[in-house]
Amino acid sequence: MIGAGNVAWHLSHALKNASLEIVQVFSRRMNKAKELGLAIEAPFFSEIKKINPNTDLIILAIHDDAIHKVAHQIREIVGWETPIVHTSGATPSLDTSEGLEGIFYPLQTFSKNKAIDLHEVPMCIRGSSTKLEKELIELGEKISDHVTIISDHERAVLHVAAVFVNNFTNHLYSIGRDIVNEENLDFNLLHPLIKETVDKLKFSDPKEAQTGPAKRGDEETIKRHLDYLNDKKQWQNLYSLFSTLILKQTKKPKEN
């Protein structure tokens, strides 16, 4: 396991719990390598030259901008027998010139202190050969109930969508928290609303589940909200943009 961050942490524990051996854990930060290594009872190190070539698979769970460089460094050490895959949603998979041969991408957001059942997480797979792809599928099925072969283009599209439904919505939660905090209100008051919004998606199309003043065409309420946000121009602009998009989505096309 190359990396000791959130993705590496969850993947390593899931693989260990599936009775698979993690041969080594590497991180440039020794304290991180040690923490994960001790947690899963695996040797750990912080010098790339100490990597053990006697393993069936090398998984890069590191920052996107380091993937190609680290893959190239590892390939020079271990040769070309051991496949190297990465866990990124955005980085292309099959750059064999750098030694990359596949994808082992869990489509989920990870935080170290939040337990996640990986059996419920989609595992997106791609390999440079039929043999490797089959092996990655078999590996994925040991920890996930939703394993699928996916192209680079499809993975990139999913990653864009994931940014909207996860990263951007989380930022909106942050804005909502700041708004209520400024008025000494408890953000927990909004938790049931957030939960219900997400729960609806299990049964309804997002467009059909849309509610709120923009959906209703309630211009007076929208104006009052914009006036309230007058001293927070960035938030006001976001409110105005989202309201405009929802209004456009809600309007029925004119009949000829």
Alpha helix stretches (DSSP H) within 100-168: 130-143, 152-162
146 with 170, same domain? no
- Residue 15, domain member (yes or no): yes
- Residue 256, domain member (yes or no): no
- Residue 24, domain member (yes or no): yes
Residue pair 1/59 in contact by the 8 Å Cβ criterion: yes
166 with 241, same domain? yes
20 with 77, same domain? yes
> C-alpha distances in angstroms, 251 versus 186, 205, 218, 254, 256?
35, 17, 13, 9, 15
Residue 238, pLDDT > 80, answer yes
List phi, psi (to 5°) of 146.
-135, 75
87 with 211, same domain? no
pLDDT at 114: 85
146 with 29, same domain? yes
Angle between helices 219-228 and 233-250 (to 10 degrees): 160
- The last residue of a domain, from among 94, 125, 150: 150
Which of left, alpha, beta for 252 (phi over 0: left; psi -120 to 50: alpha)? Answer: beta
In one-letter notation, the amino acid at residue 201 is L
- Residue 1, domain member (yes or no): no
Strand partners of residue 127 = 102
- Per the listing, tokens 């089959």 go with 134
Domain extent for 108: 6-150
- Residue 28, domain member (yes or no): yes
In one-letter notation, the amino acid at residue 47 is E
Residue 251, pLDDT > 90, answer no
CATH number, domain containing residue 186: 1.10.1040.20
Strand partners of residue 103 = 86, 126
pTM over 0.75: yes
- The last residue of a domain, from among 102, 129, 150: 150
- Per the listing, tokens 């064999």 go with 96
Alpha carbon distance 162, 250 (integer Å): 23
* 219-236 average pLDDT score: 96
26 with 76, same domain? yes
- Residue 57, domain member (yes or no): yes
Please write the tens of the pLDDT for every residue from 38-67: 999 999 999 999 998 889 999 999 999 999
Please write the tens of the pLDDT for every residue from 124-171: 999 988 999 999 999 999 999 999 999 989 999 999 999 999 999 999
pLDDT at 60: 96
- Residue 255, domain member (yes or no): no
162 with 87, same domain? no
74 with 167, same domain? no
- Residue 196, domain member (yes or no): yes
146 with 241, same domain? no
66 with 110, same domain? yes
| Beta strand 58-60 pairing with 84-86 | parallel
CATH number, domain containing residue 75: 3.40.50.720
What percentage of the chain carries pLDDT values higher than 70?
Answer: 96
161 with 146, same domain? no
Which of left, alpha, beta for 115 (phi over 0: left; psi -120 to 50: alpha)? Answer: beta
174 with 61, same domain? no
Buried residues in 87-117 as b, exposed as e (16+ CB within 10 A): bbbebbbebeebbbbbbbbbbbebeeeeebe
Token digits of residue 112: 């170290």
- How many domains are there within the chain? 2
- The last residue of a domain, from among 150, 181, 205: 150
Alpha carbon distance 152, 14 (integer Å): 25
Residue 16, pLDDT > 90, answer yes
Token digits of residue 236: 């006001």
Confidence band for 94, pLDDT divided at 50, 70 and 90: low
